[in-house]
Structure 1
Amino acid sequence: MGVTIADVAAHAGVSKTTVSRVLNGKGEIHENTVSKVRKAIAELGYVPSSGAVGLARGTTQMIGMLVPDLAWAWSGIVQSVVETLETEGFGLRMLTWNHGEESLRRLGLQVAAKSFDGLLVIEPEGALGSITELHDAGLPVVLIDDRFQRPGFPYVATTNREGGEQAARHLLDIGRRRPLVVTGPEAFGCTRERLGGFVDVYAQAGIELDQRSIICGDFEFDGGRSTVARALADGLEFDAVFAHNDPSAAGVLAALYEGGLRIPQDVAVVGFDDVEMASYTYPALTTVRQPMREMGSAAARLLLDHVRGSPKAAPSCIIPTRLVIRGSTSQSSSN
């Protein structure tokens, strides 16, 4: 049988309650007593149960994180969440939304068992209502969102409309007056925001975009590739493409090369997100950077503030986008 809290108490010559108070940092205990308990723990090799410590503290020191699936591309957010939580002494329990209602049932069981102190959520397709109910029942929740959902609980978001404006201004600055836009899915708020910002800047420059030049996409490489291939086959004339994410922008690059066009001389290309692959395309992709790592760390800090009941906890946080210029719009840019 392993070393118990009773063994530590006997070795240190104190009560089990005193050992428990030392482990959980509760109450005022004389420094000499704390030293004796810690010495006994070290000499006996006692390892306290994290569950027991969490129960005594009223906290598990764990945060849950609900993601669409573990193959999700925005690994930068998850990594920054982990780093921030570890710095604060918290662990992370990953949960996926692979199986719809069954995933929701498992999430409910985890919440009922008090397996974590708060929940970070990324784009809960069709589940926002259920997540809101968990929040309303008392679970601290923060949404990490780039699709312009605005829930009734704290969220961390980015500036999609301003990102669209940044892309448009850059293309106008380099003389591109006939852009093609490959959007994201129409149902996503970020699609409307990115498109609205882009179209408005061109309108302010006296250029009304033809509806034929705005094509609904799917955020996928093959979708970007096939969309531009069809535009070229239909004889649509354009000197730039603004794709609403980087995978579809990479597909755009492929279709332009297959069509015998030079990038950026004939057609300039701008993406959105600045995921890792954006700097590895040829040429490297000019893109609107979503601050993924900053969003992850901000969401983790915001959630911990709410878990701890901090009076300074912000209701939400919006982090701005930034244009990153590379070779797909500028011949002088390097990777």
Structure 2
Amino acid sequence: MRVTIADVAREAGVSKTTVSRVINTRSEVDRATAARVRSVIGRLGYVPSSGAVGLARGTSRTLGMLVPSLTWSWIAEVLQGVVDTVEAAGYGLLLYTCNRGTESVERFASQVSARAFDGLLVVEPENTLDTIAAMHRGGLPVVLIDDRGRHPAFPSVVTTNHEGAAGAARHLRAGGRRRPLVITGPGHFPCVQDRLRGFASVLPEHVVAPGDFTERAGRDAVERHLAAGTPFDSVFAHNDLSAAGALRALRAAGRTVPDDVAVIGFDDLPMARHTEPPLTTVRQPAGLLGETAARMLLGHLGGVRAPDEPVVLPTDLVVRRSAP
């Protein structure tokens, strides 16, 4: 049977309030009483819940993190950056996903109301930005990771989608490529529009193949344009999964990469080093995005004002054999 705070109070001959004050190192308890309570805690093996400790201290020393899904290809790296930073600061992390849509959002909102965490990190699930902004206006500290070009009225950490895509285009142009096929992500994502505009600023003559960030979309796009006789000497895919699909389709069609077609992705996931050939890609600093956002939120909780403008972390091109 679990030992409760009432058991400790009864055994030590004090009130539950006094036990709580000892647990939370409050100075109102005299040394002899505090020593007696700690002795009873040790003898009974009482373990206070983090919620009870947090309530007494006025803080949970826990952060919340809301993400669309754990299946997004770069979420794991963002999450690792967050976890490393949060744990080093002595905080815990509660992770919430929106796999069940509205039901998930409502359940998450109940946790906000219960003050289960002190602040929130967000990789925005679709159609939740207004809800999150309202929570922030209600007093919840929030930092958004990858604002997708929307720049809400609270702190955010972003990366350079436009410049990253422009850098990919410059690399292809320097290699003599003039007829690129661009495989996009979902068109309603602002980051997709940024990547399209960045690429077009350098190589305006290109063919656009709408995609959805999946390996299948990259494969289908290449197969479709090969079958239609579309001339292209390079592929710029808006993420590494789509680029991997393009590599597979080109290999199946007997096209040599990079001699016949050069391929560039976006993200620099760990898999990019293990495709055949290894993938040239635009590196998004996913782990650093998570780390920076967590530091901003922790700093805010410690009284440091977060920047009014988005904090921008640069992308860089990682050159491998698919587009040397």
Counterpart mapping for 1:141-290 below 5 A: 141-145=142-146, 147-202=148-203, 208-210=204-206, 213-290=207-284
8 Å contact kept, 1:288–1:324: yes
1:60 — aligned with what? 60
Q: Deviations over 1:259-287 (max 9, x none)?
A: 21100111110000111221121011110
Distance 1:102 1:30, change over 3 A: same
Distance 1:177 1:14, change over 3 A: same
Q: Distance in 2 between matches of 1:313 and 1:6?
A: 44
Distance 1:317 1:5, change over 3 A: farther
Structure 1 position 146, deviation (Å): 6.0
Q: Distance in 2 between matches of 1:149 and 1:181?
A: 23
Structure 2 SS opposite 1:181? strand
8 Å contact kept, 2:119–2:142: yes
Q: Distance in 2 between matches of 1:160 and 1:25?
A: 48
8 Å contact kept, 1:3–1:45: no
Aligned length: 321
Q: Distance in 2 between matches of 1:199 and 1:184?
A: 15
Structure 2 SS opposite 1:180? strand
8 Å contact kept, 1:179–1:242: yes
Amino acid of the residue matched to residue 284 of structure 2?
A: Q
Q: Deviations over 1:310-333 (max 9, x none)?
A: 134334422111111111112xxx
2:51 — aligned with what? 51
Structure 1 position 255, deviation (Å): 1.5
Q: Distance in 1 between matches of 2:218 and 2:228?
A: 16
Q: Distance in 2 between matches of 1:214 and 1:10?
A: 74
Distance 1:193 1:53, change over 3 A: same
Moved more, 315-324 or 20-29: 20-29
Counterpart mapping for 1:308-327 below 5 A: 308=302, 310-315=303-308, 316-327=310-321
2:297 — aligned with what? 303
Q: Distance in 2 between matches of 1:188 and 1:105?
A: 24
Distance 1:4 1:313, change over 3 A: same
1:101 — aligned with what? 102
Structure 1 position 186, deviation (Å): 1.6
Q: Distance in 1 between matches of 2:59 and 2:4?
A: 24
Q: Distance in 1 between matches of 2:220 and 2:16?
A: 69
Q: Deviations over 1:27-81 (max 9, x none)?
A: 5999999888767655654422222210011111221111112333221111221
The CA RMSD measured in Å over matched residues stands at: 2.6
Q: Deviations over 1:166-203 (max 9, x none)?
A: 1112112222222221122221111111111111123x
The TM-score normalised by the length of structure 1 is 0.86
Amino acid of the residue matched to residue 200 of structure 2?
A: V
Gaps of 5+ in 2: none
Q: Distance in 2 between matches of 1:35 and 1:81?
A: 38
Q: Distance in 1 between matches of 2:182 and 2:254?
A: 20
1:333 — aligned with what? none
Q: Distance in 2 between matches of 1:153 and 1:46?
A: 41
1:110 — aligned with what? 111
Structure 1 position 123, deviation (Å): 2.4
1:69 — aligned with what? 69
Q: Deviations over 1:216-253 (max 9, x none)?
A: 22211111111111211222222111111111111111
8 Å contact kept, 1:3–1:44: no
1:127 — aligned with what? 128
Counterpart mapping for 1:10-25 below 5 A: 20-21=20-21, 23-25=23-25
Distance 1:115 1:3, change over 3 A: closer
8 Å contact kept, 2:235–2:261: yes
8 Å contact kept, 1:146–1:160: no
Q: Distance in 2 between matches of 1:323 and 1:130?
A: 35
Distance 1:34 1:325, change over 3 A: farther
8 Å contact kept, 1:9–1:19: no
Q: Distance in 2 between matches of 1:291 and 1:28?
A: 48
Amino acid of the residue matched to residue 149 of structure 1?
A: R
Q: Distance in 2 between matches of 1:195 and 1:97?
A: 28
Structure 1 position 4, deviation (Å): 3.9
Q: Distance in 2 between matches of 1:313 and 1:119?
A: 14
The percent identity for this pair of structures is 53
1:139 — aligned with what? 140
Q: Deviations over 1:69-127 (max 9, x none)?
A: 23332211112212211111111112111222211211121111111111211122011
